Structure 1
């Protein structure tokens, strides 16, 4: 493996994070959950733009938007992990 995380893996991880009971116990984790939900919405929007656009510029936009949102999602996982480790101590 090349260390690359698949789209499905990221989405499944997002669902686990926002569904975790620990989220309800911590205000910072609730904020991260809210951001993850926004990112998932943006990813869905970018995918719909890609699927229904015929303009090459809009297709490029959708591809880059989705890629940027997945990078944001990865960052939010790191934030959630950092918060969770602090909460556990």
Structure 2
């Protein structure tokens, strides 16, 4: 394995965290869930900007924004795992 995680894998992990019954039982996990939901929305927004923009600077912004949000998503998975071991890496 080369250490690369696909976009689909990240989204599947996010859904797993968001839909875990353990989340409702733990305030910290609820906060992580909310942050994951916000991060997924930011990824979607960046993809929309990329999709509909023609300005090269805005396209660059969208690309960097999406990469940053995916990095944040990976971090949030680590936080969730640390809190309650609900995300398997």
* TM-score normalised by length of structure 1: 0.94
What is the distance in 2 between the residues matched to 1:82 and 1:2? 23
Q: How does 1:1-89 map to 2 (within 5 A)?
A: 1-85=1-85
Which runs of 5 or more structure 1 residues have no equivalent in the other structure? none
What is the distance in 1 between the residues matched to 2:52 and 2:59? 9
What is the distance in 2 between the residues matched to 1:11 and 1:19? 12
How many residues of Structure 1 are paired with residues of Structure 2 in the alignment? 85
Displacement of 1:3 in angstroms is 1.2
Which runs of 5 or more structure 2 residues have no equivalent in the other structure? none
* TM-score normalised by length of structure 2: 0.94
**More helix, by proportion:** 1
What is the aligned-residue RMSD (CA, Å)? 0.6
What is the distance in 2 between the residues matched to 1:11 and 1:63? 17
